Chain A
Amino acid sequence: MVDSVNKPGRLRPAPENFLSEVQIEAVGAGRRDFLRKSFLAASAAMAAPLAARASEGDPNILQNPEWTTTLGQPVAVRPYGLPSKFEAGVIRRESPGLTRVGAASVSFCPLQNLFGIITPSGLHFERHHQGWHDIDPSKHRLMINGSDPEFVKRPKVYTMDDIMRLPPVSRIHFIECGANTGLEWGNVAVPTVQYTHGMLSCSEFTGVPLKTLLDDCGVDYKKARFVLAEGADGSSMTRTIPMEMVENGEVLVAYGQNGEMLRPENGYPLRLVVPGVQGVSWVKWLRRIEVGDKPYATKDEAVHYIDLMPSGLHRQYTSVQECKSVITTPSGGQQLLDKGFYNVSGIAWSGRGKITRVDVSFDGGINWQTARIEGPVQNKALTRFNINWVWDGKPAILQSRAIDETGYVQPTYGQLRAVRGTKSIYHNNAIQSWKVAESGEVSNVQVL
């Protein structure tokens, strides 16, 4: 535990009998000069004069700091704003040894440092299959065609100008990689929530419903029940999307993210948004949509992003991210400062709709309490929950359990493994456990 006496901002307690009965009486009588005298006396008596001053009050208050006594910087020193220099540790990070090629890898979002539900665009997790490019938007094109010419009356090409002229919608959705928490299927492997759950982000996306464009091209919805989305990067990554999700207006061709254009690492200038579905389907640098009558069994749905079951069969076309939650404060690799009050905070989400409830346990799942949900609760978006906790200094195991509007309850590791074994890599939505030791150190454990 951090030495509670030296906690920042905490006043060092006065030495015993620092004020004599007489002096206390003096305070009561409103005689002020006693303080100066007693400080002089204390300074002489004690080896640490700083401590003596601190007992008068916090030096951060008693002595005006530089930023209060000098002229600050003018506007537009940073034409595009940056986080404080004290936030330098709040960055995306790789997991050493996870991949061997940076262009086909992952960087994880620092969930342990985030508030609310929106992921700052610069901290959005990254997953590239063949590296990222910063594409010139004036040269980017989106083509819509059919696997069979009869499925699309008018195959068309759209520029970014075209797409940005159309009526847009803005919606907040989470995006989670299908392999998020995949390192932990068999056992605990990584220390913090950044690495256990950080292939997860949530943004406001702005764009045009894909249906608007398919209508514009005259798609035959009776025959074309599948959609292939293709990227403009080297891998030209492809994924099959169900037409039902396009028809209900959910799937967006998006250019905006949190009020500005998409970041290059997130698909600038155009990406697909497929709410509730694993990130690999949210094709970045989107260049082509093909409608067809059969699924495509692309590399990322026939070699990767297939879930190995104990039977030796792979589940193919698993796409939905099922209901899941995790406590982010406190979480693995962190240290509680002291006994006493904590606001335990976390995030919950479901690819099947809205979160209706989150329960939290402090004893490893024996007893549960319902957490406060920070509204508004949105469809297929991160949902923040909080709950009060007074830590008594004894070991504890913190868990959260989310429930979505279909009634689905986030499962335990034991329940998931009983059906799926430990080798499926993808779609691990088990209840996460954080153990708090007597020292205040929080660590990653699994409770069956």
Chain B
Amino acid sequence: MSRFSKSILVLALFGASTATFAFDNYKGIGRPATPAEIKAWDIDVRPDFKGLPKGSGNVDRGQELFEEKCASCHGTFGESNEVFTPLIGGTTKDDIKTGRVKGLSSGELPQRTTFTKVATISTVFDYIQRAMPWTAPKSLKPDDVYAILAYMLNLAEIVPADFTLSDKNIAEVQKLMPNRYGMTTDHGMWPGAPAKKGGIGNGGIPDVKNVACMKNCKPEAKIGSTLPDYARNAHGNLAEQTRSVGPVRGVNTSGDAPAAQPAAGAASPAMELAQKSGCMACHGVNNKIVGPGFNEIQARYKDQPDAETRLVAKVKAGGQGVWGAIPMPPNSHLPDADLTTLVKWILSGAK
């Protein structure tokens, strides 16, 4: 073999190796993850409880934590529909026996709650641990999560009031989940391998089959539903929502429109701060949502000389009682300067 053909061979081998061992090309990119790093971020819990941390918590402790950290959005009994859809309700003793929530098919359910839907208790544990409470996600210790989940299970009448939930018995509780047999994967909308090949679903077979008829496809076009009158201007003046040049215009619906919505970008810096800080989730400017409207707060405190200092402290620490039973969560994560700006703004009329 000549030297020339040898070098061709070497080149060919090199080409093959780059294709096979792709990672070898990416030297210097990335670094090994340390065990501590993986532990810090790998917090997911699967339906087979892979990833579940050790720990336990009872219903009583769960109630304390729930009232302190969860009730402001979800209501003391997880029933609130004010901020999010309810967590608890709609399941029966019979559902716990059968593992199917009957209200889902009978049409008796006015609204689906978390426990009417969820089949896997791991999902609830995983989600509380990773995302709750709303304004301070990942602040709960595993024992807190067990306790809060125990309280929710008790509210749903799945476990008794003296129950302690732990990594040891959670698989037993799974067998009591009211909608544990309520899921199906028999559909064509999973974009991977089908169930018969270790994946999910039927391999992409659609559940409806339309035919592209072109002429005289039906005797008449029957209108089944039209836009209700009240919905015509429920999204503001449509004239402003289509540009004012081109083949069409937006229909003017301002004549009978409700109070004008604030134009985009027109919010004051303090209003933006209030939105950014999550205040507007529970307080309206002129209306109660979960907590009192800013107008009500201003009316109550406006003549008190120390109102600003007192309110800053209240917003920071949270509290309950002044405006009713629903507690306000603490906002200690907000800088003092922001708290002062917000309180001043509220006391000056939240304009």
Contacts and interface: CB of A to CB of B under 8 A. Distances in A.
B9 interface: no
B137 interface: yes
A87 B243 contact: yes
A143 interface: yes
Contacts of B193: 225, 242, 244
B84 A317 contact: no
Interface of B is mostly: loop
Contacts of A234: 131, 137-138
B120 A100 contact: no
Interface stretch (B210-218, B291-299, B340-348): B210-218
B189 A96 contact: no
B137 A343 contact: no
A234 to B, nearest CB: 4
B168 interface: no
B313 to A, nearest CB: 25
A191 B238 contact: yes
A333 B30 contact: no
A329 B247 contact: yes
B210 A312 contact: no
Interface string A1-32: 01000001000000000000000000000000
A155 B225 CA distance: 54
A433 B223 CA distance: 9
Given A158-B30, A447-B221, A89 B112 contact: no
Interface string A271-282: 000101100000
Contacts of A294: 46-48, 50
Contacts of A244: 191-193, 199
B269 interface: no
Nearest to B238: A333
Given A191-B238, A297-B46, A306-B117, A320 B190 contact: yes
A39 interface: no
A230 B238 CA distance: 38
B105 interface: yes
A313 interface: yes
A86 B245 contact: yes
Contact of B37 (A157, A299, A408): A157
Interface in B75-121: 82-84, 100-102, 104-106, 112, 114, 117-120
Interface in A378-423: 397, 401, 403, 408-413, 415-416, 418-420
Given A100-B281, A445-B227, A86 B37 contact: no
A351 B253 CA distance: 36
Contacts of B114: 303
A381 to B, nearest CB: 16
B303 interface: no
Contacts of B16: none
Given A143-B38, A409-B210, A316 B191 contact: no
Contact of B241 (A93, A412, A433): A93
Interface stretch (B55-63, B154-162, B229-237, B320-328): B229-237
Interface stretch (B143-151, B179-187, B304-312): B179-187
Interface string A118-146: 00000000000111000000000001110
Given A216-B26, A313-B182, A333 B137 contact: no
A332 to B, nearest CB: 7
A41 interface: no
A176 interface: no
B340 to A, nearest CB: 22
A228 B130 CA distance: 14
Contacts of A319: 189-191
A102 B244 contact: no
A303 B104 contact: no
Given A242-B192, A299-B127, A315 B102 contact: no
A435 interface: yes
B204 A320 contact: yes
Given A90-B243, A103-B281, A366-B221, A359 B42 contact: no
Contacts of A447: 221-224
A34 interface: no
Interface stretch (A55-63, A258-266, A285-293): A285-293
Interface in A416-447: 416, 418-420, 427, 433, 435, 441-447
A295 interface: yes
A49 interface: no
Given A102-B280, A159-B30, 18 more contacts: A100-B83, A189-B228, A216-B23, A217-B23, A236-B130, A296-B44, A297-B122, A299-B131, A302-B123, A303-B114, A314-B117, A317-B200, A333-B238, A337-B247, A364-B222, A366-B221, A415-B209, A418-B208
Closest 7 CB pairs of A and B: A242-B192, A364-B221, A312-B105, A312-B104, A333-B238, A409-B210, A318-B189
